């Protein structure tokens, strides 16, 4: 039987990685078999693509190149890691997936929805998550968390506040378009409260 495929989405600093780590610890305790991957990345090839697509000095990168790079990393991840894990009945926790391309490259940067969806349909062979947790935070909270994290901003983090506002709106639109797949969680709640909501939902999905 195929395992559950779960994606985590949201703006920069929304808390995806933090929540996934806690869910992994919980799944370990429960003895539930899972894998945890992130995008872009998750494979040798994907990790190389990640370095390229996020390089802050690649100003000349065209939007089509950007869409194709995220989709290339995804195609490799789906074929090499995600599909085999699901076929073995493992749960897959994915830190970002196709909806990131829709939110960032389409809503944020203006690439047509049709282009992003067509390319990603090919890249994923149509594989869609069973559940998507959208950790929703305002651009102000996002900005302050990214600033507190320190370090240099990557190519996406460098984009202006209107871009990040459109990304957030894009995610919220996706959540209304796919209400059965999406669960929207306010990302500025206490870590433990968010974690509890996700765990309860995973238990429901597994029952
Ligand atoms: N609910 C929360 N309340 C306060 N701070 C939080 C919360 N969740 C996460 N953080 C903090 O916000 C920062 C970003 O969290 P995290 O790396 O998990 O976000 P992310 O969504 O994975 O970010 P990115 O997409 O940029 O990689 C971290 O410093 C983390 O400790
Ligand atoms: C998968 C995917 C990601 N992005 C953007 C979103 C973030 O700015 C970075 C990834 O960094 P993170 O620390 O792992 O969140 O890439 C995108 O624009 N399009 C995508 O498809």
pLDDT in tens, 4-50: 999 999 999 999 999 999 999 999 999 999 999 999 999 999 999 99
Q: How high is the pLDDT of residue 15?
A: 98
Sorting pLDDT into bands at 50, 70 and 90, what band is 1? Answer: low
> What domains can be seen in the chain, in order of their start residue?
5-206 (3.40.50.300)
Q: Strand, helix or coil at 8?
A: strand
CA distance linking residue 29 with residue 67, whole number of Å = 38
How many whole angstroms from 146 Cα to the centroid of ligand 1?
Answer: 8
Q: Which residues pair with 185 in a beta bridge?
A: 135
Contact residues for 24 (Cβ-Cβ < 8 A; gap 6+): 34, 36, 93
Q: Which ligand is nearest to the CA of 144?
A: 1
Q: Which ligand is nearest to the CA of 197?
A: 1
Most informative mutation of 7, 8, 15, 152 for ligand 1 (most atoms within 8 A of CB): 15
Q: Atom 14 in ligand 1: which residue has the minimum CA distance? A: 13
* Interface predicted TM-score (ipTM) of this complex, two decimals: 0.99
Q: Atom 26 in ligand 1: which residue has the minimum CA distance? A: 12
Rg, the chain, Cα only: 16
Query: Which atom of ligand 2 lies nearest, measured to the CA of 16?
Result: 15
Beta strand 91-95 pairing with 182-186: unpaired
The binding site for ATP consists of: 10-17
Residue 55 falls in which region: left (phi positive, over 0), alpha (psi -120 to 50) or beta = beta
Average pLDDT over all residues of the chain: 97
Q: How confident is the model over 63-78, as pLDDT tens digits?
A: 999 999 999 999 999 9
Q: How far is CA 47 from CA 79, 118, 135, 182, 191, in A?
A: 15, 23, 24, 27, 28
């Amino acid at each position: 039987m195929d395992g559950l495929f779960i994606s985590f989405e949201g703006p920069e600093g929304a808390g995806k990685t933090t929540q996934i780590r806690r869910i992994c610890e919980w799944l370990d305790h429960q003895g539930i078999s899972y894998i945890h991957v992130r995008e872009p990345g998750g494979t040798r090839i994907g990790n190389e693509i990640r370095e390229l697509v996020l390089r802050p000095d690649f100003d000349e990168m065209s939007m089509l190149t950007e869409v194709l790079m995220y989709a290339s990393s995804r195609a490799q991840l789906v074929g090499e890691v995600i599909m085999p894990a699901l076929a073995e009945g493992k749960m897959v926790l994915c830190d970002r997936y196709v909806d990131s391309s829709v939110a960032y490259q389409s809503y944020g940067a203006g690439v047509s929805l049709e282009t992003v969806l067509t390319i990603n349909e090919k890249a994923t062979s149509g594989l869609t998550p069973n559940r998507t947790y959208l950790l929703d935070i305002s651009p102000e909270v996002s900005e302050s968390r990214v600033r507190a994290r320190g370090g240099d901003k990557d190519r996406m983090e460098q984009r202006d506040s209107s871009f990040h506002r459109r990304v957030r709106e894009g995610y919220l639109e996706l959540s209304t378009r796919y209400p059965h797949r999406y669960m929207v969680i306010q990302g500025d709640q206490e870590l433990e409260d968010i974690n509890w909501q996700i765990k309860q939902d995973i238990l429901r999905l597994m029952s």
